[in-house]
Amino acid sequence: MNGLTGHTVLNALVSLVVASFSTLSLSDRASTSGSAPMAHEPPPTPRITILYDAFGKNTSMKKDWGFAAFIEVNGKRILFDTGDNPDIFAQNVKAAHVDLTRLDFVVISHRHGDHIAGLLYLLKVNPTVKIYAPMEGLGGIFGSLLPSSYYRKADELPPEMRYFDGSPPKVIKFGKAWPDANLELIDSTTEVAPGMTLIAQVSDVQGTKELKELSLAINTPDGIVLIVGCSHPGIDPIVAQAARINTHIHFIAGGLHLVRAPDSVIGKVVTSLKDNWKVDWIAPGHCTGEPTFVALMQAFGDRYLYAGLGTVLELGAPPHVSF
């Protein structure tokens, strides 16, 4: 074969390959190249996974006093509290196959150690995640700002005896336990995403007076889904605030802080939730207390959902439990 003939044949082969490739569909080309378009990931079924608590059935997770829950609802992935021990929190997160790098935001309900210690692990794997926490006053572990006008001045003192030599800044900034964390402090009830509201309350209960706590109220087509950490201010005022968003309280999960309460107090709370607020479903955990579990089961019947460690609370119609 001379050069001219070889050149002609080569051109013909190239033309044939190009023509054949042009007849392939888009999906055929993607398959041939090994880079098929990524399918759209469907939104997860609305649910709450209990990541930290002192009771439960899941043998791959470790029980410990504290609370943490992973919430998937309204297209958002939310971590609510982080438990009492970073190593146990890490173990339970991995056992539940929860990806902390894909969170939309985190809510820390209040400053108690059994709700915040897992932040140490969370910030290792997702250091920039948005974290909502309650705004506290002087010395709050999440950081705080106070006007220098809050303390009395004594102008007769020499500068070396005065705070800031007698010329303080207008605002004094106090440090936080996690200086690099992406913290946003919440001082009043605030909507942080469409249909998602952080309810800010202050405890007036003996032993936790002035403790600030956040609860998460999610407005769904079925009504309010309310997640509480410890309910130190009382579950009644928290529900009352949530009812301003939507009077239909569909689902409550978390701690009700009745672990040491007498039967008379427990009875009043149970009656209020069932008869006054007409809560559809309840899934109590953490500091709710064993006698309160009994009372709520008796009152709510099959509308009481077990919420031990590792439980997945499916928020479909009707809500149910899976493991």
Per-residue confidence at 33, pLDDT binned at 50, 70, 90?
very low
Query: Would you state the structure tokens that stand for residue 256, as one six-digit string?
Result: 């009700």
47-52 vs 312-314, strand pairing mode: antiparallel
Q: Residues 6 or more apart from 165 whose CB is under 8 A from it?
A: 159
Q: Are 255 and 224 in contact (CB under 8 A)?
A: no
Task: Report the candidate in 44, 231, 48, 281 with the shortest Cα–Cα distance to residue 241.
Answer: 231
Q: State how far the alpha carbon of 239 is from the alpha carbons of 109, 132, 212, 257, in Å.
A: 15, 20, 16, 14
Angle, to 10 degrees, between the axis of helix 290-300 and the axis of helix 263-271? 40
Half-sphere exposure of 191 (CA within 13 A, CB side): 8
Condensed to tens digits (0 to 9), the pLDDT of residues 73-121 reads 999 999 999 999 999 999 999 999 999 999 999 999 999 999 999 999 9
pLDDT of residue 205: 87
Closest of 214, 228, 321 to residue 279, by C-alpha: 228
In the prediction, which pLDDT does 133 show?
98
Distance CA 116, CA 156 (A): 44
Helix (H) or strand (E) holding 320: strand 320-322
Positions of E strands within 168-266: 171-174, 182-186, 190-193, 196-202, 212-220, 223-228, 249-255
Query: Cα dihedral sign for 266, 269, 274, 280?
Result: negative
Only one residue has tokens 């992935």, namely 77
| CA nearest neighbour of 217 among 45, 43, 73 | 73
Under the banding of pLDDT at 50, 70 and 90, the label for residue 39 is very low
218 vs 31 pLDDT, higher one? 218
For residue 307, is pLDDT > 80? yes
pLDDT of residue 209: 87
Taking CA atoms, 266 is separated from 15, 47, 284, in Å, by: 83, 27, 13
Under the banding of pLDDT at 50, 70 and 90, the label for residue 62 is very high
Amino acid identity for residue 274 in this structure: K
CATH 3.60.15.10 domain residues, the chain: 47-142+177-322
Q: What is the CATH architecture assignment of 47-142+177-322?
A: 4-Layer Sandwich (3.60)
Residues 148-160 have pLDDT tens digits of 998 999 999 999 9
- String of DSSP letters for 121-162: HHHHH-TT-EEEEE--STT-TT-EEEEGGGS---TTS-GGGS
Phi then psi for 191, rounded to 5 degrees? -80, 120
Whether 300 shows a pLDDT value over 60: the answer reads yes
Residue type, 265: V
Q: In this prediction, what percent of the chain has a pLDDT beyond 90?
A: 79
Range from 122-131, 168-177, 305-314 carrying the lowest mean pLDDT: 168-177
Instruction: Reduce the DSSP state of residue 283 to 3 states and report it.
Output: strand
Q: Contact at 8 Å (CB) between 232 and 256?
A: no
Q: What DSSP character marks residue 220?
A: E
